[in-house]
Amino acid sequence: MATIRDIAKKMGLSVSTVSRALNDNQRISIRTRKRVKRIASEMGYQPNYNARNLTNREANAVGVVFPVNNRVIDNIFYVGLLRGINEELTSRNYVLSVAIGNSTEQVLENVKSMITRAQIKRFILLYSHINDPVIELLRHQPVDFVTVGKPAAGQKWPYVDNNNVKAGADGTRLLLNNYHAEHPIFAESPNGWPYELDRREGYLREISQTDRKPVIFSVPDQDNTALDQFIKDHPQIDGVVATDDYTGLKLYRRFKTLYPNKEINVVGYNNSLPNELIDQHFHSVDLHPAEMGQAAVQLLFEKETGSARVKHTIVAHSFFN
Amino acid sequence: MATIRDIAKKMGLSVSTVSRALNDNQRISIRTRKRVKRIASEMGYQPNYNARNLTNREANAVGVVFPVNNRVIDNIFYVGLLRGINEELTSRNYVLSVAIGNSTEQVLENVKSMITRAQIKRFILLYSHINDPVIELLRHQPVDFVTVGKPAAGQKWPYVDNNNVKAGADGTRLLLNNYHAEHPIFAESPNGWPYELDRREGYLREISQTDRKPVIFSVPDQDNTALDQFIKDHPQIDGVVATDDYTGLKLYRRFKTLYPNKEINVVGYNNSLPNELIDQHFHSVDLHPAEMGQAAVQLLFEKETGSARVKHTIVAHSFFN
DNA sequence: CTGAAAGCGCTTACAG
DNA sequence: CTGAAAGCGCTTACAG
């Protein structure tokens, strides 16, 4: 493997000059920079990241942190994020390091080790939970991080997210206008994630513009009896804006089981289901995870603006099916 | 951040001795090793991976390579693998680096850079394709790698896999014995992946032990007309061993659409669907991806046996639902 | 059983 | 515009 020493020797230059030329240092003449780069590429020179990182006291890596408790179906979303993140990272000659584990302690140790041993200074969290120990750690370390999903009210840090109020409103309007739903409800999870609150807000906003009464139902995680009871108590519902595909499909299937012949349209979010699994009455909003991943990296590498505004990027969603 | 120099100074030892003690070098007395480790931990010493890697000419990282073209539903499987891989890596003080991209060229560049710039010497491929350029590259480099999924006939390299012949046979027997299927068929994808061939072989083996005639159907990727035609031509089928959950569910849903009142049981593989999406007639074989990930790492770090046998590990599957 | 020294391949403050 | 030198924090061959 050729090193900058080899290049220097071959060109009769010093190691310093070669290093500076390769890094496009202004102090080196354009002519020399060009020559050095040409020779370097001819010799098949590849920089040694470990050496560079040792000198820079900083790794050219971004730590990507997975949530501990997630539903398997969400993994589709995470891999989409990974794709977008890595695309942006490779173009910056950065590397993607993953922190994933089965307990908060494991992940926390993983991240600590990335900071102190691997000297990683930038992180992307694929989630945004309140009181998350990893986030608490990162906030008190000299590192930068971005979360996917905005922080809960009262908290502030850089993030990338969709406009979930708009996404909720769009889903509601789709049901009202395109599928002529008379009684669309909003179905949420018991977790109260920030994105659900926003989608619900969008739903409420649209409903309030009509003469309808809003109906919110929290779908329990395990037990289906409460869900069945709700459906029986509300036989008139003909549309559902669900907080995510999982919640939506769960409700949709119970509804169809109880009322096989009633028509109902459902809007979910994440586009996480293969088309084979859903029919023309199930609609999903694509949140464009790859774009969100790219945006997260861009935010992470953005120069400080100095403004007090929290840096963030809103990625547009779109309808699928 | 404390370094081994700081420890050496504080203890009145040389840097060499501290380094050796921390690495449990036999040449250092047990007493000294213990003392050094105690002081190191008291001082909050954390090794600098970049320095170590530079000296060792090898990164303490494993490159994990995602396939380029994959169905979104498979992402569930990949994240399970990641969990298992990282669990084994952290206990070895290794780091997980991801290579993922939208084209073979991107991924190939990513892996090349991992080898030459990041000095990564060990890789896990989350797939095992024939004539894959990444595999071809790795075979001709001084690196070790393991694939998830066994190589196609004629190829040889270390891998981790399930016993897919047995998994196919087990699925078939489940239909025959537990659900009393009279006419179970085997449904495969048009891709002819090695694992499908094996599952099909298991199906054929079980069927041949009865007086039934085997039926194999290749489910086309896009077009549903051939699928519908097949179902109409075979109204008697009452069981399906499908090459994966995706193929199985596709067939199941078309079948139920055409014959809502006929009972049919389906066995798929990967356990990739949330329970809400399936009913008691859909059964999935859990391939234990996290265990496969762990096994892959163990294989990667196993000392060379010297035997000509190809190293591999077979992870047991189990039934879900 | 322990140490002094060289070296891994870079970057950069200092000097000219 | 270019160079000599120090240093990043480790490991290990060589010496005793």
Helix (H) or strand (E) holding A77: helix A75-91
Closest CA to B70 of B101, B111, B106, B112: B101
Q: DSSP letters of B221-274?
A: SS--HHHHHHHHH-TT--EEEESSHHHHHHHHHHHHHH-TTS--EEEEES--S-
Domain chopping of chain B, boundaries: 4-47, 61-162+289-315, 164-286
* H helix intervals, B280-321: 289-301
Quick one: fold of B164-286?
Rossmann fold (3.40.50)
d(CA A274, CA A279): 10
Closest CA to B90 of A99, A180, A13: A99
Residues 6+ apart with CB under 8 A from B9: none
Average pLDDT, chain A: 92
Q: Pick B61-162+289-315's CATH classification: 3.40.50.261, 3.40.47.10, 1.10.287.110, 3.40.50.2300.
A: 3.40.50.2300
Does A96 sit within 8 Å of B82, measured CB to CB?
no
DSSP label at B211? T
Helix (H, G, I), strand (E, B) or coil at B65: strand
DSSP label at A214? P
CATH 1.10.260 applies to domain B4-47:
yes
pLDDT tens for chain B, 321 residues: list them: 899 999 999 999 999 999 999 999 988 989 999 999 999 999 999 999 999 999 999 999 999 999 998 777 788 899 999 999 999 999 999 999 999 999 999 999 999 999 999 999 999 999 999 899 999 999 999 999 999 999 988 889 999 999 999 999 999 999 999 999 999 999 999 988 889 999 999 999 999 999 999 999 999 887 788 999 999 999 899 999 999 988 998 899 889 889 989 999 999 998 777 776 778 899 999 999 999 999 999 999 987 655 556 678 888 888 755
- Tell me the CA distances in angstroms from A152 to A13, A58, A130, A192, B208, one per residue in order: 56, 30, 6, 10, 60
Distance from residue B33 (CA) to nucleotide D12 (C1'), in Å?
Answer: 18
Closest CA to A285 of A251, A238, A242: A242
Which residue has tokens 């299937």?
Answer: A253
Tell me what pLDDT residue B306 has: 55
Instruction: Write the pLDDT tens digit of every residue in A306-315.
Output: 555 667 888 8
Q: How far apart are the first and last CA of chain B?
A: 52
Pairing of strands B61-65, B95-99: parallel
Is the CB of residue B104 inside 7 Å of nucleic acid strand C?
no
Closest CA to B199 of B290, B317, B292: B317
For chain B, the helix, strand and coil percentages under 3-state DSSP, each to the nearest 5:
45, 15, 40
List the 236-265 stretch of B: residues with Cβ below 8 A of A: 246, 249-250, 253
Q: Is B58 exposed, middle or buried (0-12, 13-18, 19+ CB in 10 A)?
A: middle
Does A250 sit within 8 Å of B276, measured CB to CB?
yes
pTM comes to: 0.93
Tell me what pLDDT residue A185 has: 97
Instruction: Write the pLDDT tens digit of every residue in A57-86.
Output: 999 999 999 999 877 778 889 999 999 999
CA B193 to the chain's CA centroid: 14
Quick one: fold of A61-161+289-315?
Rossmann fold (3.40.50)
Which of B117, B219, B261, B273 to probe by mutation at the A interface, max A CB count within 10 Å?
B117
Radius of gyration (C-alpha) of chain A in whole angstroms: 25
d(CA A214, CA A281): 21
A47: contact with B, CB 8 A cutoff: yes
Domain pair B61-162+289-315 / B164-286, same fold: yes
